[in-house]
Every structure is written in C-alpha cells, then in structure tokens.
Amino acid sequence: MATRETPTGASTTADPKTRLLANRVLFVIALVAIVLGVALGQTFITWLNATLL
C-alpha cells in the first residue's frame, strides 16, 4: 500500500484508489465474517462474566 511520511513520522495512505479498494474488500470480508458467525450460532452468547469480583 502506498504511504507517505508525515511530519510526525506516522505513515498515511496516499493513494485514494488503493484506499478505496482496501475499504471495499474489507467491507465484504466483514460482511462474510458476520454471516459465517451467525451461521455458526455465535450470536447466542452464553458466557456470563461471573468473575468480576
């Protein structure tokens, strides 16, 4: 992924097309993960946090 250095040394995405493509691809992957999770019954959370004390 194309990046440029900012004055603070942090890298940022420079190429809008690459950014848009990554955004779209990750969007689809996230949707697939949600569908897969629902299919596997992961929305029914049985865990209760009884260990808080």
Partner 1 sequence: MSRFVMFLLTAKRRWVQALSFLVMNSFVLQSLKAIPCLGMNCYACPGAIFACPIGTLQHFAIIRQVPFYTLGVLSLTGILVGRLACGWLCPFGWLQELVYGLRRRFRLPSWPVSERFGWLRYAFLVVLVGIVPLWTLEPWFSKLCPVGTVEAGIPLILTNAELRAQAGWLFVLKVAILLGFLVWMAGTKRPFCRFVCPLGAIWSPFNRLSTLRLAVDEASCRQCNTCYSVCPVGITVHEDPDSTRCIRCMECVKACPEAAIRLLGE
Quote the tokens at residue 7. 């004055």
Q: CA-CA distance, 43 to 34, in Å (whole number)?
A: 9
- Cα–chain-centroid distance for residue 18? 16
Determine if 2 is a binding residue for partner 1 (CB under 8 A).
no
Total residues interacting with partner 1, rule: CB under 8 A: 33
- Report which DSSP code applies to 4: E
Residue numbers 12-41 binding partner 1 by CB under 8 A: 12-13, 19-20, 22-23, 26-27, 29-38, 40
Q: Which residues bind partner 1 (CB under 8 A)?
A: 6-8, 10, 12-13, 19-20, 22-23, 26-27, 29-38, 40, 42-45, 47-49, 51-53
